[in-house]
């Protein structure tokens, strides 16, 4: 299952065009087509910081291998961004934040003993970026991959500066190794808290990853929901209050359902539950909105530079059943646990499962038009990774036309496109851009626009159309950095 915020907006022609600066489209019969609207930066920001939060609890080994195997599809999409692969920093952190709650002065009593699989001990991985043996820089270097355009060769995309082992000078191969972070981490996964700790300005071992003006993308790979604790007492031995020491505690006290689970006690009852959402008044888990606010505050005034994504379980169905603890015989005592929301058979023939991620999905939803999620219950995660790549391409600046452009005057030879294009800078009046004459880089009326064909980078449709803005160097240099072009083009009704 793939769900995403589309990088384009399609609106009925009659409703959209009342405010367009170019009235030429207003004469088009609104029954003829729809309008594809898009906004593009004039000066492309090609810096992208990518943070992968990878669940390293005991059920994740196969899913990590799946992620690593299909990572090239993600990179392939990023390479279609104008100018090729962006200037990327790529880091990996795990969901293991041990027995430390956000409001605790230090870690509390964990679950299990040293060496136990899934034990929650001390600070876990502490939000530190994991290289998994990849060598960066000189004598250790950074805790992340850096692969950027060599500023000495600004017009040659093949000239890159990389900080990782020259003997493994391939970005996909390096990440594939980093993605396999193991499956012995804490089973009370603190995805969101680990992200916050990883990106704290005071986190010295992760220094250099975040760049002030770069886009920031946080990608969560998980098969269970977030359990970011405010207090480590959630891990305690008080089974009378908290129930068995199972990760179901995270759901019971971190999620409420308007139907069948309005209180933690009702959440403990067996049965289907609906209209579920984070419990913002939980005594044990941190409020989800706090994490969204933290990320947005990393880009003050430019919150739209933050993108979030998840490859995780589906949110439906949601229910509670009685089940024995993992590893116990079928005759053992059964306890309340989440019903798995999806499953699949992996390449080894083993059934893999995932649980509904109510808290993570709520986190993603706080970034409208900047978030996407897909199911982790697939043998092949390439579709979900490609979807994330396409969202990033759209956010950074994608001039490709997704819809099929309409020929608004079939009686005239050739294809007659109808677009309204304008540019807007901060504190500067909007300026309408004319169609180029001639429709090429040789236009004499720059700045102007025209529709061109780019088969290499625009693969969404058979036409491969792209919007080109032609400018003189002097015009481009005179524009403020935050100048955007807005285009509305008539497309056919599909």
Helix (H, G, I), strand (E, B) or coil at 386: helix
Say how many domains are in the chain: 2
pLDDT at residue 112 tops 80: no
Label residue 333 by pLDDT band (50, 70, 90).
Answer: very high
Same domain, 132 and 146: yes
- Residue 254 corresponds to which tokens in the numbers above? 């971190």
* Domain-terminating residue out of 397, 416, 434: 397
pLDDT at 315: 97
pLDDT at 178: 92
Span 342-363, average pLDDT: 95
Same domain, 242 and 262: yes
pLDDT in tens, 51-76: 999 999 988 999 999 999 999 999 99
pLDDT at residue 169 tops 70: no
pLDDT in tens, 208-258: 999 999 999 999 999 999 999 999 999 998 999 999 999 999 999 999 999
Label residue 7 by pLDDT band (50, 70, 90).
Answer: very low
Minimum mean pLDDT among 166-175, 184-193, 344-353: which range? 166-175
Which among 374, 255, 381, 377 has a CA at the least distance from the CA of 320?
255
pLDDT at 286: 97
- Tell me how far apart the alpha carbons of residues 101 and 232 are, in angstroms, rounded to a whole number: 5
Same domain, 404 and 366: no
Same domain, 392 and 443: no
Same domain, 72 and 27: no
Same domain, 392 and 252: yes
Same domain, 32 and 63: no
CB 26 within 8 A of CB 20: yes
176 against 14, higher pLDDT: 176
Percentage above 70 pLDDT, the chain: 90
Range of the domain at 415: 2-43+399-492
pLDDT at 253: 98
* Domain-terminating residue out of 346, 378, 397: 397
pLDDT in tens, 142-165: 899 999 999 999 888 888 898 887
251 against 11, higher pLDDT: 251
Sequence-ordered alpha helix ranges (H) in 96-255: 171-179, 191-198, 239-242, 248-254
pLDDT at 43: 84
Same domain, 408 and 379: no
Same domain, 162 and 27: no
- Tell me how far apart the alpha carbons of residues 275 and 148 are, in angstroms, rounded to a whole number: 44
Minimum mean pLDDT among 12-26, 342-356, 454-468: which range? 12-26
Which pTM was predicted?
A: 0.87
> What CATH number has the domain bearing residue 252?
3.40.50.410
Phi, psi of 370 (to 5 degrees): -130, 25
* Domain-terminating residue out of 347, 374, 397: 397
pLDDT at residue 88 tops 70: yes
Sequence-ordered alpha helix ranges (H) in 52-145: 61-78
């Amino acid at each position: 299952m793939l769900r995403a915020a589309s990088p384009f907006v399609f609106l009925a022609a009659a409703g959209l065009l009342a405010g367009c600066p170019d009235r030429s489209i207003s004469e088009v019969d609104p029954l003829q087509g729809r309008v594809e609207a898009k906004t593009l930066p004039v000066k492309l920001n090609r810096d992208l910081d990518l943070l992968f939060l990878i669940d390293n609890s005991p059920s994740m080994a196969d899913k990590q291998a799946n992620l690593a195997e299909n990572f090239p599809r993600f990179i392939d999409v990023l390479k279609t961004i104008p100018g090729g692969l962006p200037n990327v920093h790529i880091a990996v952190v795990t969901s293991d934040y041990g027995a430390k709650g956000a409001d605790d002065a230090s870690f509390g009593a964990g679950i299990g003993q040293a060496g136990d699989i899934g034990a929650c001990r001390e600070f876990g991985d502490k939000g530190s970026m994991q290289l998994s043996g990849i060598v960066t820089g000189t004598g250790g270097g950074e805790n992340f991959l850096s692969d950027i355009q060599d500023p000495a060769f600004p017009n040659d995309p093949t000239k890159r500066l990389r900080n990782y082992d020259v003997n493994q000078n391939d970005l996909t191969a390096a990440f594939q190794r980093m993605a396999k972070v193991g499956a012995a981490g804490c089973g009370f996964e603190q995805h969101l808290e680990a992200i916050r700790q990883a990106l704290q300005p005071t986190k010295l071992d992760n220094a250099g990853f975040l760049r002030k003006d770069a886009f920031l993308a946080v990608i969560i790979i998980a098969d269970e929901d977030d359990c970011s604790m405010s207090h480590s007492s959630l891990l305690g031995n008080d089974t009378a209050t908290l129930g068995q020491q199972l990760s179901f505690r995270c759901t019971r006290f971190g999620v409420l359902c308007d139907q069948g689970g309005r209180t933690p006690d009702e959440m403990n009852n067996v049965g289907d539950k609906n209209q579920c959402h984070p419990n913002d008044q939980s005594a044990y888990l941190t409020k989800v909105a706090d994490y969204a606010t933290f990320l947005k505050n990393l880009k003050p005034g430019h919150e739209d530079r933050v993108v979030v994504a998840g490859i995780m379980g589906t949110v439906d169905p949601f229910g509670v059943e009685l089940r024995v603890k993992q590893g116990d015989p079928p005759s053992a005592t059964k306890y309340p646990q989440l019903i798995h929301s999806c499953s699949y058979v992996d390449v080894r023939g083993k059934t893999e499962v995932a649980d509904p991620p109510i808290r993570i999905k709520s986190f993603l939803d706080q970034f409208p038009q900047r978030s996407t999620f897909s199911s982790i219950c697939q043998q092949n995660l390439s579709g979900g990774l490609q979807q994330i790549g396409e969202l990033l391409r759209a956010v950074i600046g994608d001039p490709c036309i997704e819809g099929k452009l309409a020929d608004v005057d079939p009686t005239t030879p050739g294809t007659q496109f109808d677009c309204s294009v304008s540019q807007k800078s901060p504190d500067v009046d909007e300026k309408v851009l004319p169609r180029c004459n001639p429709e090429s880089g040789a236009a004499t009326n720059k700045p102007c626009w025209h529709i061109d064909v780019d088969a290499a980078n625009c693969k969404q449709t058979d036409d491969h159309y792209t919007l080109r803005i032609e400018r003189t160097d002097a015009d481009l240099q005179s524009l403020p950095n935050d100048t955007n072009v807005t285009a509305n083009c008539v497309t056919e009704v599909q």
